[in-house]
Structure 1
Amino acid sequence: MYMPTTFWTWSFFLLALLQAVICLGLEAFVFGEFEESLRGEARSSDPPSGALTIPTYLTIFIFGFIYQMILVWDALRLKNTIQVIGLCLYNLGMMIYAAVEIDQVDEAVDSLGGNIEPNTWIYLHPCLIATPCVLALGTILLSFVSWKLYDEFAWTIYKHISADLRLKRRYLTYQIYIALLKFDFFFFLGFTVQFLVIVHGKTYEFALTIAALPVTIILLFLAAYIVRRESYVGQSFIIFLYFVGMAYFVFKLVRMYDSDQAYKYAPAKHSLTTFAVLAILLLIVTIVTAVVCMMNFNKGLKPHIQKRKVPDAADMKFGPEAGYGAGPHPLGSMGTRMTID
């Protein structure tokens, strides 16, 4: 298992971990206080929609921070500056999500009326304010460390990509596409998890959502496999599925604001809308990047993206890149510049 090896990689990893522990601690306290304050109908087997708000947010935060730590490990392992930058934006998104939570919880407490203790909001409010503040500080610190990591990764990435500017651009597009797939994964599953928590019961919509969960995971892994194999037919099929995904999220948005259906989504309407809109925007960018990747097929990149790990300092010194009996560099002749264009 890969572990960070330098000061800045350790700093990035530990900052992300510390932030996750603090924020999950705050959310756990909010959840405990909220559940303890419920009474009457809110404790029944069929509680009002407001009682589901906090469990929904806690579910997403747990999933969001666990997935963030997986992406942090993956980005440091691959020395992927694109993904490191994406993680800073991801953190910013989590901060916005935490800020949206404040009003949503306030509305939920008001809607419960006599089914919740009168002073509940007074106890919850400080922790709800603290969470986006911690995430804001974390975003600033992670952004600073990512700038240092860019300098640290620049030479090793340059050695991996070679001096061919056109090949570097194709490889960069590939990296962006793979990073987008990883963030698509979060928004797809984040939306689905919220939906399953809020809309439960024996309905065709609930059953279809459960069925779509493993299918979505498989398709995203398949998309990464196909782009590495440079299959025109496979990539065209994946792009078609992206359009199907966009149609799905548009349908959900329309359904959430349909007067006959809106009550089902009330506990997490704001967050579901946020996830759906961001998923649509990400899908648009993913489709454009997927098309550009397909245009780069059969232009010399395929043999070089099979090896996913970027060589580390030891590889540079003693491995093939150092020239010890390994022949020419696998991506072509090397230049003298030490930064990425």
Structure 2
Amino acid sequence: MATLQCVLIIVLQTVICSQNTLQADLLPHSGSDNALITDSIQTSIPEQAADRLGRIKWENIAFIGFQVWFLGMAFDATVYQNTAEILALAILNVICAILGALEVVDGNKWLNLLKNTGYSTMPLSVAEKIEIALSVMIMLFAVILAYLSYEMSRQFGWNIYKKIGADVQIQKMYRMFQFFVLSLKIDVFTGFLVSLFSVCYLIHVAIKQGLMWESVIELIVTVLILPMLYFARTAGSVESKVRMIIFLIFQVLEFVHYCLILTETFQPSNNWYTWIVLIFIGLAFNVITSVLAFMCMRNFGKGLKPYVQRGSTKQKQDVEMNKSKVQQDWQIDDD
């Protein structure tokens, strides 16, 4: 179902993106770098619409990226039986459906405004119809995948109980580690996407104004985000406090990085709310990931390590644990 959703939504979003681009090409562009923060008296509606449709194009691309990330997360959650991850995917899919509905509202707003001008609105009209179909489709998939996620989480819960046993303390630490891993994976999308878009914008500005120190920091953080997220996952697996502290220091640097982006974003009357919300989501998960990393680090050395391995290490650990269980099951008491 996740694969089917990914394919269908990517196709529809690609068509919507192309139609929005065609509509933007039919409209006059303002001489200002940002028509949306210019006084509406000085800037005409077609110029504002051209600027907004140019931004919507990037939102469509982000939507496509989200679907690819969502598919990878669905497979990962299923293979590694991460209950927190599978339930979070169901919630994210509902949020995705809401964003799809907002996309329809935003498109309809500019369509109505442009109808009062002499410019053709055919591409935007086509995009609006596809956006409605997209919104309905996402909601349908959200309901189906929510049910499947609930059923899978019940099975995962039983499998984890059989794997870990009845030790409540170990179960609590294991759930905490699952939430930490989930937060890292969400950071792959929110943190990296926000940083990548920000760097693209800064490159555009740097071409005109020159390179600034803020640009250097944001570029360094963007390059390091994905390697550091993997670094944090391995730090949790091997229970290395030194590695986890290094990751927490990087999180502080990433927090500064988000603050710099916010100062650049908060301009007078900036109406690109989607981008602002995305920055705040990235900032929130930066804090959440840091807190979870610290809490997981406190659990190092308390018996969780055998249950959080992956790859070849996990296979060897499972073989050893199964052998131990078999020996215990067939032990004969001579008395």
The answer for the alignment partner of 1:146 in structure 2 is 149
| TM score, norm. by length of structure 1 | 0.76
Aligned in 2, Cα 1:286/1:40: closer, same or farther, shift over 3 Å?
closer
Write the letter of the residue equivalent to 2:267. D
Aligned in 2, Cα 1:151/1:304: closer, same or farther, shift over 3 Å?
closer
The answer for the alignment partner of 2:230 in structure 1 is 221
Q: State the Cα distance separating 1:17 from its structure 2 match.
A: 1.7
Q: Distance in 1 between matches of 2:310 and 2:124?
A: 53
Q: Distance in 1 between matches of 2:186 and 2:126?
A: 34
The question of 1:251 aligning with 2:260 is answered yes
Q: Distance in 2 between matches of 1:237 and 1:220?
A: 11
Among residues 295, 302, 306, which one is paired with 1:299 in the alignment?
Answer: 302
Aligned in 2, Cα 1:40/1:304: closer, same or farther, shift over 3 Å?
closer
The question of 1:284 aligning with 2:287 is answered yes
Write the letter of the residue equivalent to 1:63. G
The question of 1:35 aligning with 2:12 is answered no
Q: Distance in 2 between matches of 1:146 and 1:93?
A: 15
Write the letter of the residue equivalent to 1:218. P
Q: Distance in 1 between matches of 2:326 and 2:277?
A: 46
Write the letter of the residue equivalent to 2:88. G
Q: Distance in 2 between matches of 1:218 and 1:115?
A: 51
Aligned in 2, Cα 1:233/1:107: closer, same or farther, shift over 3 Å?
farther
User: For 2:303, what is the secondary structure of its paired residue?
Assistant: coil
| TM score, norm. by length of structure 2 | 0.77
The answer for the alignment partner of 1:327 in structure 2 is 324
Q: State the Cα distance separating 1:202 from its structure 2 match.
A: 5.6
Q: Greater relative contact order: 1 or 2 (C-alpha under 8 angstroms, separation 6 or more)?
A: 1
CA contact (8 A) 1:53 1:105 kept: no
Q: State the Cα distance separating 1:55 from its structure 2 match.
A: 2.5
Q: State the Cα distance separating 1:209 from its structure 2 match.
A: 4.2
The answer for the alignment partner of 1:53 in structure 2 is 55
Q: Deviations over 1:134-190 (max 9, x none)?
A: 222222111111111123223322122222111111111111101110011110122
Aligned in 2, Cα 1:292/1:209: closer, same or farther, shift over 3 Å?
closer
The answer for the alignment partner of 1:73 in structure 2 is 75
User: Which runs of structure 2 are paired with 1:159-178 in the superposition (5 Å)?
Assistant: 159-178=162-181
Q: Distance in 2 between matches of 1:18 and 1:138?
A: 9
The answer for the alignment partner of 1:85 in structure 2 is 87
Aligned in 2, Cα 1:320/1:302: closer, same or farther, shift over 3 Å?
closer
Aligned in 2, Cα 1:114/1:246: closer, same or farther, shift over 3 Å?
farther
The answer for the alignment partner of 1:186 in structure 2 is 189
Write the letter of the residue equivalent to 1:223. A
Aligned in 2, Cα 1:241/1:107: closer, same or farther, shift over 3 Å?
farther
Q: Distance in 2 between matches of 1:211 and 1:244?
A: 10
CA contact (8 A) 1:60 1:194 kept: no
The answer for the alignment partner of 2:273 in structure 1 is 270
Q: Name which one, 1 or 2, has greater alpha-carbon Rg.
A: 2
Q: Distance in 2 between matches of 1:255 and 1:105?
A: 26
Q: Deviations over 1:209-228 (max 9, x none)?
A: 44433211111111111122
Q: Distance in 2 between matches of 1:124 and 1:106?
A: 10
User: For 2:325, what is the secondary structure of its paired residue?
Assistant: coil
The question of 1:94 aligning with 2:96 is answered yes
Write the letter of the residue equivalent to 1:281. A
The answer for the alignment partner of 1:233 in structure 2 is 242
Aligned in 2, Cα 1:192/1:105: closer, same or farther, shift over 3 Å?
farther
CA contact (8 A) 1:180 1:282 kept: yes
Q: State the Cα distance separating 1:124 from its structure 2 match.
A: 2.1
Write the letter of the residue equivalent to 2:186. F
Q: Deviations over 1:99-135 (max 9, x none)?
A: 3434554566658997962344332222223323322
User: For 1:300, what is the secondary structure of its paired residue?
Assistant: coil
CA contact (8 A) 1:230 1:298 kept: yes
Q: State the Cα distance separating 1:26 from its structure 2 match.
A: 1.9
How many residues are matched? 303
